[in-house]
Structure 1
Amino acid sequence: MVIDKPGYEHLIQFLTEHLALFTATGPAARDGKTIGVLLEEKIAEQIITLCRQHDELEMNHRSLIIREVDGIMYDFQEVLSSVLDKPATEHQLELITEISLLIKNLFDTAIAALFD
């Protein structure tokens, strides 16, 4: 659905281009959550929003989305494995939020193609 598309490759490239931000230190974000927890939460929030916005999705589509999100999380956890347990800074939180929105956008595009 999205993992095998060029947009996903661009997303991984975007993440790797910003890896230095994840190794930077600074004051923790206001909630003190780790990079790993925030990554999971922000992506989950966007996928829940995606499924609510696309109520025409059948169960097999939703299952495919969940499997793909699992794959995306695995890839991101591999890339960010050395920093997942560190408290996120505000800048890291902003980037994680942006990445989660980009992931949702990839799925929005794929869903639109399904129903065209």
Structure 2
Amino acid sequence: MVIDKPGYEHLIQFLAENLSLFEQAGTTRADNKSVGELLEECIAEQIIHLCTQHTELEMNHRSIIIREVDGIVYDFQEVLSSVLENPVTEEQAEIISEVALLIKNLFDNAVADLFD
């Protein structure tokens, strides 16, 4: 659906290009979430939003999306493996939020293609 598309490759490159941001110290967020926790939370929120927006999705489509999201989270955890347990900084949270929105955008486009 999306993991085999060029947009996903660009997203991984974007994250890799910003990896240095995850290796720098910064102001940690008040909620003390780790990089890994916030990554999973932000992606989950966007996928829930995606599924509620697209009521025309059938159960098999939702299952495909969930499987792909699991793969995406795994890929991102691999890229960020050395910093997953670190407390997330404000700057890192912004990148994570942006990445989650971009993931949703990839799925929005894929869903639109399904019903064209």
TM-score when normalising by structure 1: 0.99
TM-score when normalising by structure 2: 0.99
Q: Which runs of 5+ in 1 are unaligned?
A: none
1:2 counterpart residue number:
2
Correspondence 1:65-80 to 2 at 5 A: 65-80=65-80
C-alpha distance in 1 between matches for 2:26 and 2:76: 22
1:25 counterpart residue number:
25
1:52 counterpart residue number:
52
C-alpha distance in 1 between matches for 2:24 and 2:30: 17
RMSD over equivalenced CA pairs, Å: 0.5
After the TM superposition, list the runs of 4 or more consecutive aligned residues in structure 1 that deviate by more than 3 angstroms.
none
C-alpha distance in 2 between matches for 1:30 and 1:102: 25
Q: CA deviation at 1:114?
A: 0.3
Q: Which runs of 5+ in 2 are unaligned?
A: none
Correspondence 1:33-112 to 2 at 5 A: 33-112=33-112
Q: CA deviation at 1:27?
A: 2.2
| Residue aligned with 1:33, SS | coil
